[in-house]
Amino acid sequence: MDAFEYRDKTLFCEKVKIEDIISEVGTPAYIYSKNAILARYHELKAAFGDVDSLICFSVKSNSNLSLCKILAEAGSGFDVVSGGELFRTIKAGGDPSKIVFAGVGKTDGEIRDALANDIFMFNVESLAELEHIDRLARDVGKVAKVALRINPDIDAKTHAKTTTGKKENKFGIDFTEAEGLIKQSSRYPGIELCGLHVHLGSPIYTVDPYVNALRKIIKLIEKCRDAGLDIEYMNIGGGYCISYTGEEVIRPRDYASKILPLVKEMQCNLLMEPGRFITGNSGILITRVTYTKETVHGKKFIICDAAMNDLLRPALYDAFHRIWPVTTGIPMPKVEEPEKAAVKKGTELVDIVGPVCESSDVFASKRALPKVGEGDLLAIFSAGAYGFSMSSQYNSRPRPCEVLVDRDQYRIIRERETYDDLIKGEIIPE
Ligand code: LLP
């Protein structure tokens, strides 16, 4: 979280005081550090530098045009999962020849768009999809590059709702069926099967699931080669973890040390699809305390102006995000234990909630927080990935603005929505 640091008892993003940004843009507001994003991109690129690799930034984690543009300029490719993400990526200056298109339900329209833009590769998740891509490619006289997404039936030991590589998940082609499909692929002249893909879930806090999946896939690649088929690319997906609690977690070089030998053994070029690792700890959400409320049962609620519609992760996955006042004399603990709030002098146990009419609209419960009152600002950390991109207008709440900081400069990269934005496109029948 080094892009966000307390100096003289107040929070900075790079060289800019958060309070200065907020006095101009208001709350709630997402704030991103450009240089943190770039540092993480380069850290990952360097860690896997031993092989020919392409990082395809997972647009779903944060699809803001300015962020995609920064990454495009740094040389990144993109992992998209919808026609909308493809549209955004190209608008942001993403190079189509570095775009991979994943997802279990690509429509014909989306496939046609991707073919028209000459994207790099489709990650294919079923025989039915393969047949559609083949037909649509032939219709326009093209041959689509394809990687088969394998479901290796590996438990990534992450949240049940973000696990994707187990046999009961909807993703990928069952490991046992993949070989037959690969061997039949020459029957489809509209496709060139040149890669395999795997994404196990996210976030993944150990390297073992990747290693176990790749060990299984190596055998498949050998069988393909025996059958005279060349697999040029191995796409290992995303899922690289970040620290949400301040604790040390494994870093790209730790993943690389165990993954690279296997990729080398495969003699494949490496593709990867990180999202959270690049944007997660490069962004925060700032909210203002509207009220505090103490119940007769002894509970204290901090009611703030951001809500589950702005940051859904706590409500959806019980995800832990650190929360601390923007200005306070009490230092934020270096590490927090999600299950065990440490109440120290000056802090109290509170529930930090939003105004949405749902009991799940809770950012944190039984959290030790320095005493705050109406009008105080709180920072919700690790909000750069799956924050704004999963936001909605639920309860007819205009979505927050987004701000990008670059050293001592900042600018708004998405305006706060207005009430007019809420009713855009709606038609009242006469
Ligand atoms: N590739 C594929 C095929 C994916 O499905 C995903 C994420 C990624 C790459 C990027 O994963 P990352 O490196 O960001 O962990 N909304 C959830 C996470 C769901 C991610 C879905 N797929 C969250 O807030 O944690």
Specify the pLDDT at position 1: 47
Query: What residues does ligand 1 touch, defined as CB less than 6 Å away?
Result: 58, 61, 79, 102, 162, 199, 202-203, 237-240, 273-277, 313, 385-386, 390
**Residue the block writes with tokens 């069952």:** 174
Smallest CA separation from ligand 1 atom 15, residue:
239
CA distances from 149 to 58, 213, 266, 372 (A): 16, 12, 16, 49
Smallest CA separation from ligand 1 atom 6, residue:
238
Domains, the chain, with CATH or none: 4-32+280-417 (2.40.37.10), 34-277 (3.20.20.10)
Which candidate, 308, 320, 303, 323, places its Cα nearest to that of 391?
A: 308
Specify the pLDDT at position 181: 86
pLDDT in tens, 201-231: 889 999 999 999 999 999 889 888 887 888 9
364 CB-near residues (< 8 Å, 6+ apart): 314, 320, 321, 323, 350, 351, 352
Give the DSSP H/E element, type plus range, for residue 175. helix 175-184
Binding residues for substrate: 276, 313, 317, 358, 386
Smallest CA separation from ligand 1 atom 21, residue:
162
Low-confidence residues in the chain, pLDDT < 70: 1
Among residues 224, 241, 268, 357, the one annotated as catalytic is 357
CA 159 to ligand 1: nearest atom? 25
Q: Is 357 a catalytic residue?
A: yes
CA distances from 358 to 313, 362, 394, 419 (A): 14, 9, 11, 21
Measured distance CA(149)–CA(40) in Å, rounded: 26
Q: Candidates 202, 311, 389: which one to mutate for ligand 1, based on the most atoms within 8 Å of Cβ?
A: 202
Cα–ligand 1 centroid distance for 366 (angstroms):
28
Cα–ligand 1 centroid distance for 398 (angstroms):
25
Measure the N-to-C terminal CA separation of the chain; round to a whole number of Å: 54
Torsion of CA 115, 87, 147, 254, to 10 degrees: 160
Which candidate, 235, 227, 238, places its Cα nearest to that of 266?
A: 235
DSSP-derived 3-state class of residue 323: strand
Which candidate, 352, 404, 398, 359, places its Cα nearest to that of 376?
A: 352
Specify the pLDDT at position 147: 95
Measured distance CA(80)–CA(197) in Å, rounded: 14
DSSP-derived 3-state class of residue 181: helix
Measured distance CA(124)–CA(23) in Å, rounded: 47
CA 197 to ligand 1: nearest atom? 3
Say if strands 300-304 and 269-272 run parallel, antiparallel, or are unpaired. Answer: unpaired
pLDDT in tens, 115-149: 999 999 999 999 999 999 999 999 999 999 999 99
